[in-house]
Amino acid sequence: MSEVIGTQSYGMLIVNTFYAKAVTLPFFTGFKSRRTKALPLIPDVLPYLGVYFIRQGMTSDGDLNAGEVRFVNEMTVGFSVVIQNNDPVESHLKLDAAFCEISNGLWRDQYIMNLIDTSAPVDVITLPDGIRIEGIKGGTYRINWDKLGSNETPIAELQYEANVVFRSTFPPIITDDLLRWHQETVPLAHDGTIPPADVVQRIITEYEFTPVALKTAA
């Protein structure tokens, strides 16, 4: 199990994985990249790629009174691609190509989108152990036109928001594991009491259990 599971949410780990993969896609060679919208966008960082956590909704997975706490999560991940707009038509075509690069590079990835086996070679970008994306539940894709900086550099921006669905579960943390069970069997006396050990021999049985580590979700 990855050390980060339990210290960061599944949603953030998924966003970080998307970012790590997106910056390696050939289209974005030479792009400046960020994982937060808090930093100002200035002409010096063009062309620009951003991968952001936008929001996350959670609904109960199953009946509320049955088992541990479980959620079906729907998280919106934002992709921002900004280029200098010297020609609106050519800029739109380039941003559309960026949209295709993100879609093909992430949604076709055999490790990031694998529901059966999330293990991968060491040098391959994939989700931390135990995280599985169930699907991409739609999204939005639009092009914005604007000007940037004091010199009003014309820019064009692709804003692509994808809705990612995954599950998380929170089993109870058991600190007093049942590791040993001592059982004594003896017939009761006629009056319903337990006869002394020196009168009736006990049948003694002992069981020892080995704890099994369970994966947790966040």
Tell me: pLDDT of 5 over 90.
no
Identity of residue 7: T
In this predicted model, what pLDDT tens digit does every residue of 170-188 receive, in sequence order? 888 878 778 888 888 998 8
User: Is the pLDDT confidence value at 109 over 70?
Assistant: yes
DSSP 9: -
- Work out the mean pLDDT of the chain and round it to a whole number: 89
Mean pLDDT of 124-146: 92
Highest mean pLDDT of the ranges 115-119, 135-139, 151-155? 135-139
- The tens digit of pLDDT for each residue in 200-211 reads 888 889 988 887
- Return the SS3 of 41: coil
What does the alpha-carbon distance between residue 60 and residue 58 come to, in Å, rounded to a whole number?
7
Which segment, 31-35, 36-40, 117-121, 147-151, is predicted with the most confidence on average? 31-35
Q: What is the DSSP letter of 19?
A: H
For residue 4, pLDDT over 70 is answered with no
CA distance 28 to 63: 45
**CA-CA distance, 108 to 128, in Å (whole number)?**
18
Q: What is the pLDDT of residue 93?
A: 97
Preceding omega of 40 cis (within 30 degrees of 0): no
In tens, the pLDDT along 10-63 reads: 999 999 999 999 999 999 999 999 999 888 888 889 999 999 999 999 999 988
What is the C-alpha R_g of the chain?
28
pLDDT of 214: 53
pLDDT (tens digit, 9 = 90+) per residue, 60-108? 998 888 889 999 999 999 999 999 998 999 999 999 999 999 999 999 9
Q: In order of start, what are the domains of the chain with their CATH numbers?
A: 10-170 (3.30.2000.10)
Long-range pairs for 212-217 at CB < 8 Å and ≥24 separation? 213/1, 214/171, 215/1, 215/5, 215/129, 215/130, 216/5, 216/6, 216/169, 216/170, 216/171, 217/5, 217/10, 217/130, 217/131, 217/167, 217/168, 217/169, 217/170
